[in-house]
Amino acid sequence: MLTKPKKSLGQNFLIDKNILQKIVNSVSIYKNKEILEIGPGTGNLTHYLVKKNPKKIFVVEKDSELSLFLSEKFKNKINIINEDVLKISENLISKQKLIVFGNLPYNISTKILSKWIISTNKSFWFSKLILMFQKEVADRIVSEINTSSYGRLSILSNWKLDIEKVMDISRNSFFPKPKVESSLLIFSPKNKFYKIKNSKNLEMITRIFFNQRRKMIKKPFSQIFKNPNQIAKKLNIDLNLRPQNLSLDIYYKITKEYENLRC
């Protein structure tokens, strides 16, 4: 008998069978593929993944009680890693590229995504990420330039990944019912992306720009560069624009320019 869902671990279990099926059908799972599920909870999504009969299923669940429950429920059909996803080395789980599923705990969902983007240098350890976020966070991830949700998260996420929104999911599809709606996103590694030496520089630069979201970019530009006008001219940037008016590419170029001058 399980104790009640733990709020501290973001335990809102997906109970809508239609949605669960749509999630597993959102990408092709072949018999020779390996799957990683983050936060399987009581195994509602895991059940549909097992039915697809992939080569292997790994699950990472922080809750020891649920890990025990899952091992009794699925026996040797899944490989359980009873750990905190923020502390594991995903690239050591398998030699094969993994298809990753996750109805992520809301309080750490952006931390998990950032960890995966930042830790990837040349080759990716995953072939697809099929992840559920709180809708407001998903909107920020996929947001377009010149919108109010465009910002640090969109710039970091789009750096190495192509992103597609699959669907919104009502709060009624969960137990216990969360306060907010959710959205499902699929991420695929880009073949080519800007070679930034240290992702911390991209994070630092976007932080400086978006801390002053409503101001013209003259100020952050002069905080970052000693000769802002010269760099702006070189990169063809109008310093009277606001942070949300600069394209993704411009942020990657600014970071590269900063690294060329400093590193």
Cβ nearer to ligand SAM, comparing 42 with 201: 42
Cβ nearer to ligand SAM, comparing 118 with 208: 118
One residue of 29, 36, 41, 49 binding ligand SAM per CB under 6 A: 41
Beta bridge partners, 79, equal 58
Cα–Cα nearest to 57, from 72, 78, 32, 38: 78
CA dist 214 to 205, 225, 245, Å? 16, 20, 11
Cα–Cα nearest to 156, from 186, 191, 122, 201: 201
Which residue type sits at 6?
K
Site string for ligand SAM, 51-80 (x = CB under 6 A): ---------xxxx--x--------------
Measured from the CB of residue 45, what is the shortest distance to ligand SAM in angstroms?
5
Measured from the CB of residue 210, what is the shortest distance to ligand SAM in angstroms?
26
In this structure, the number of other CB atoms found within 10 A of the CB of residue 108 comes to 18
One residue of 34, 40, 128, 130 binding ligand SAM per CB under 6 A: 40
- Applying CB under 6 A, the span of 8-16, 25-33, 143-151, 220-228 interacting with ligand SAM comes to 8-16
Q: 171-196 in b/e burial notation, b at 16+ Cβ within 10 A?
A: eebbeeeeeeebbbbbbebeeeeeeb
One residue of 29, 103, 169, 206 binding ligand SAM per CB under 6 A: 103
Residues between 107 and 146 with contacts to ligand SAM, criterion CB under 6 A: 108
User: What is the DSSP-derived secondary structure letter of residue 220?
Assistant: H
Measured from the CB of residue 250, what is the shortest distance to ligand SAM in angstroms?
34
Residue 36 interacts with ligand SAM (CB under 6 A)? no
Residue 105 interacts with ligand SAM (CB under 6 A)? yes
H/E element, 38: strand 34-38
Catalog residues that contact ligand SAM under the rule CB under 6 A. 9-14, 39-41, 44-45, 60-63, 66, 84-86, 103, 105, 108
